[in-house]
Amino acid sequence: MKKITVVAAIFCSMFLSSCAVHEGMTSNLNNNTTEVVLAKNNYKILERVQGESEARYILGFGGLSRNGLIAEAKANMLENADILGSSKAIINETVEYKNSFFPFFGSKKVIVSAYIVEFTN
């Protein structure tokens, strides 16, 4: 009887536990040709903005690819930044990934964050 209880407890703890992996990337993989030089004191940092996207998987099916999640999170961030038609720019863009998985379910979350600077001259 004790063996069955121990085996059941181990099985339940394995089934109900989850694993999460978190990684961040601060390099620019887009190879944009626009360059912002912040050498002079002609700017001010306004705020930090971020955008998120998430995909859920059941038995490994569903969701978006990693590139689709990044594009969706970046579009969300740029929408929150509201920089069109002004002398503002996005700097120090960071992409973070979080993968969580359970026995049959999983999720991927991408967070893109950056700072908004405004040029004064």
Report the CATH number that the domain containing residue 64 is assigned in CATH. 3.30.110
Sorting pLDDT into bands at 50, 70 and 90, what band is 7?
Answer: low
Q: Which two tokens stand for residue 115?
A: 């700072």
In this structure, is residue 85 part of a structural domain? yes
Residue pLDDT, tens place only, 24-43: 555 545 555 566 677 778 88
Task: Report how many domains make up the chain.
Answer: 1
- pTM of the full structure: 0.66
User: Which pLDDT score is estimated for 24?
Assistant: 56
For the chain, the distance separating the N- and C-terminal CA atoms, rounded to the nearest angstrom, is 79
Q: How far is CA 65 from CA 3, 18, 20, 99, in A?
A: 44, 22, 18, 13
The whole domain housing 30 covers: 18-119
In this structure, is residue 13 part of a structural domain? no
Amino acid at 21: V
Q: Give 55's contacts (C-beta < 8 A, 6+ positions apart).
A: 62, 63, 64, 69, 107, 108
In this structure, is residue 24 part of a structural domain? yes
